[in-house]
Amino acid sequence: MNTLRFVTEKLKAYLDFSFVFRLNIVLLLFFLVLLGYPAVTPHSIMVAVSFASLMAFIYLFNKVTDTNEDSVNIKAGLLPEYLTRRVRLFSFLCLVLPIFYLAFYYQLLIPYLIVALLGFFYSFKLRIGDRIIRLKQLLAIKNITSAFIWTIPPTAVRIIETNTPNISIFIISCVIFFATFAIEAIWDIRDIEGDRQFGIRTFANRWGYPVAKKIAIASLSISLILSFIGSNAPTMLALVISIVFVAYASPFRHSWFYHSLVLIWVLATSLSIAMRILV
């Protein structure tokens, strides 16, 4: 019994750490970018690592700027004050280091820098007179910005690989865009109270979380319909599971509930890569 308790506590500590530092989110973008390549090669892995590192910057930078909201939204996983500066420094290292590799591939560097700018201004507190404005404070713009952040890297990789845009790439991009838009709306349900207190306007705190759930289901349904044209079985299954998740989403669910949805997408994308390798 003591051994089981010890293992359980260690697993919980690891999951809390991984959720704080967004390792599940970083892994998801890694697999999404890797799926943009026809084969797994050292170059494709390096590009996937580069964009995953960029995603680490975006989410860690968001975390160190969201201390007020997080103090209300989450009961565990808050960064201690002494760690905030270190995490901020680490996040900027995640941003800068991949540039040394991507500098040799300007076609990849351009979308990298575009996403970096979107991610920075998503969280950066811009002071205009007595007002502080962030992209994430603006209703719907928050979701759209996040959706573009997730859509641009895998789309850019696919276009560069094929040398030209085509309808298949457009459909896959739309699947990612609408799925991300919906998942962002779902996360806003968890963060409803803190966002309301600190002036971040979301579907959930503007019209209530039942309306946010309907918007998420509509967006996921569009993504699911498009996935029948341009995606694979793991992606479609992840979309169906996501729709089921929306039905159970509420502000009273633990953070693990929401992080588990991301883990399902990590599993779906990794299975897609495994299927490609095996075939």
| Partners of 132 in beta bridges | 127
Maximum Cα–Cα distance across the chain = 60
For tokens 């309301």, the residue is: 196
Per-residue model confidence as pLDDT tens digits over 108-157? 999 999 999 999 988 887 777 666 677 777 888 889 999 999 999 999 99
Tell me the C-alpha distance between 102 and 83, whole Å.
29
Tokens of 68: 């007020």
Per-residue model confidence as pLDDT tens digits over 33-69? 999 898 889 999 999 999 999 999 998 888 777 655 5
Asked if 264 and 235 count as a contact pair (C-beta separation under 8 A), the reply is no
pTM of this prediction exceeds 0.75: yes
Per-residue model confidence as pLDDT tens digits over 220-272? 999 999 998 877 889 999 999 999 999 899 988 877 788 888 889 999 999 98
